[in-house]
Amino acid sequence: MPLTDKQVDALKPREKRYTVTDGRGLAVEVYPTGGKGWRYRYSLNGKPDTVTLGKYPAMSLKAARLKRDELAALVAAGKSPTEQKRMVKEARADATTLQEFGERYYSEVIAKDRKEPKGLRRYLDKDIFPALGSKPIRDIVTEDVRKVIWHKKDHGFDAAAAEIRGLLKRLFDYAQTYGLVTVNPVLALPMRHVFKPRPRQRTLSPQEIRTFLRAVYHSNIRRQFKLALHLLLLTMSRKSELLLARWEHVDFEAGTWSIPEELTKTGKPHIVYLSSQAKELFGELKQLAGGSELVLPGRGSLTQPFAHNAINKAKQQAVADLDVPHFTIHDLRRTASTLLHENGWSSDVVEKAMNHTIGGVRGVYNRAQYAEQRRDMLQFWANYVGSLIEEGKVILGNFRAVGEE
């Protein structure tokens, strides 16, 4: 006899799965876990077959019967419901774009597994989706992903290129799991050819700091970049934080630069206490900004910042003729940290000033912000850097922390 909704609801799981027939090929299958699913059994050209319809109660008894009748009409016309379902599934897979599946991968995997997913989200939105987002994921080949990865690498961002490669590799692994692709196109691009991590040990000596800053101010690069490079050294901030800074974040009266959480690597808001020299540099940048809300508006627009690589190129141009071993803008942070540590400043104060996350038990229990110590330290650091620039007053060491006897 035909089933009723009440009877389907009352079906209980057993040790092994079993089925209960509704009639005309429709049956409900009950799993040991308690789940229930609809099946349609039919025979075409003398060969029996079964096709799944959906899970109960997401598909009601009434909906299952309507679907059965629809498939029975196909069988009567000599068509296979199983084949039709396969064709529909393949058509959906063929039509799924990389952006559609990328959003699924982000919500189902990245957002759940990563505590700080903003970096990967940025790679999707800024690098991967603009280049490949509209293309069916099944049609993407190695050359497509190579262009995305090497676009980053060719601009000098090898580490970022490696992260994009890793993200794409995991995304296509997930697509393989769901049968959307049969081959992962990223596997033909070994990580060792994209990026070879090197120990980060480069720090500038006091003499190199002096040479660097004097070269910057005597170079032909834009005045904004001269001031920005000087500021990065004095504030120990990250390049991206300054490039995206807005004047609403800078308080000249309080002597602070507040970096919002969406601009920091740690995902936490950070306050930079400005030395008198840093305030002067910000003040000149304010005049150069021409009324823009951005601290460093780009060359052709008051509403858009400079390209991420622009300040790198400016630095390279400024030091092109120097007899100084290669260093990056990020090495300026390490230089400041190293010299401050060597001259008596507390590691906790230095790390907090750099917005580093302190690990281990100390990181859990130490919630101090060290505001006054950071302000004193950054003023001391600015004074020291200033003394290096002055002609004939290059200090090569033995400087002491504020308050040290």
Q: Which of 265, 286, 308, 313 is catalytic?
A: 265
**What are residue 55's DSSP bridge partners?**
37
Q: Which of 16, 192, 218, 365 is catalytic?
A: 365
Provide CATH code, domain 96-194: 1.10.150.130
Q: What is the pLDDT of residues 142-155, one digit of tens each?
A: 999 999 999 988 88
Q: Which of 39, 65, 68, 238 is catalytic?
A: 238
Question: What spatial distance separates the first Cα and last Cα of the chain, rounded to whole Å?
Answer: 97
238 is known as an active-site residue: yes
- CB burial readout 8-20, b (16+ within 10 A) else e: beebeeeeeeeee
Q: Which of 87, 196, 187, 185 is nearest to 144 (CA)?
A: 185
Helix/strand/coil for 260:
coil
Q: Is the peptide bond before 130 cis (omega within 30 degrees of 0)?
A: no
200 is known as an active-site residue: no
Whether the pTM exceeds 0.95: the reply is no
Q: Which of 14, 330, 362, 393 is catalytic?
A: 330
Q: DSSP label at 358? A: P
Q: What is the pLDDT of residues 325-373, one digit of tens each?
A: 888 899 999 999 999 998 889 888 898 998 876 554 444 344 457 889 9
Lateral strand order in the sheet of 270-273: 250-251, 256-259, 270-273
Q: What is the pLDDT of residues 82-102, one digit of tens each?
A: 887 776 665 566 688 999 999
Q: What confidence category does residue 197 fall into, taking pLDDT thresholds of 50, 70 and 90?
A: low
Q: DSSP label at 263? A: G
Residue 401: exposure state from Cβ atoms within 10 A (0-12, 13-18, ≥19): middle
Report residue 52: phi and psi, to 5°.
-80, 145
- Domain 206-389: CATH class, spelled out: mainly alpha
Question: What integer pLDDT is reported at residue 405 of this predicted model?
Answer: 36
CATH topology of domain 5-93: Double Stranded RNA Binding Domain (3.30.160)
Query: From CA 63, how far away is CA 364, in angstroms rounded?
Result: 55
**In 3-state terms, the chain is what percent helix, strand and coil (to 5)?**
55, 10, 35
Domain regions of the chain by residue span:
5-93, 96-194, 206-389
Whose tokens are 């390209």? That residue is: 307
367 is known as an active-site residue: no
Q: Which has more confidence, 403 or 255?
A: 255
The token duo for 377 is 């330290």
333 is known as an active-site residue: yes
Q: Which of 152, 270, 333, 374 is catalytic?
A: 333
